[in-house]
Amino acid sequence: MIVIATREGLVGGITSTGWKIDTLLPFVALPSVNALRRFVRVTNPRTQKSCLAVVMDVGPWNEHDDDYVFKGERPAAESGIDTRGRHTNKAGIDLGEYVWRALGMEGNTCVAWEFVE
């Protein structure tokens, strides 16, 4: 699915899995606690670069958007408002620093992602 991606940043912070964010582990955040510790392939359509990553955090914006993550619906955050009423940047995935650099990202642009087994 192609969605807007944002850079998670927060190096040194702690993810919802208890992992301390660094620049070495290729990780992403998806808005479902049920996606934690699963592997995804993320591709930048502009550069055609792709990267394997593990879901180590929940977000952006929502925590239980299973219809998007598992059923192919559009991310709830694309509406511009999250489930708590906050204004969103319409992102459907957060990329850790390693993934951001590996994909050659420049700003909050679109990526494609899919689960891999």
Strand-pair category, 39-43 with 50-58 = antiparallel
Q: How many domains are contained in the chain?
A: 1
| H-helix segments, 1-117 | 66-71, 97-102
Under a CB-based contact definition with an 8 Å cutoff, are residues 26 and 11 in contact?
A: no
The pLDDT value recorded for residue 96 is 96
Quick check: 54 and 22 in contact, CB under 8 A? no
Under the banding of pLDDT at 50, 70 and 90, the label for residue 85 is: very high
Arithmetic mean of pLDDT over the chain: 95
Q: How far is CA 43 from CA 39, 50, 110, in A?
A: 13, 4, 9
Give the SS3 label for residue 11: coil
CATH number at residue 56: 2.40.40.10
> Is the pLDDT assigned to residue 77 strictly greater than 90?
yes
pTM: 0.95
- CA gap 81, 61 in Å, rounded: 9
Domain housing 17: 2-116
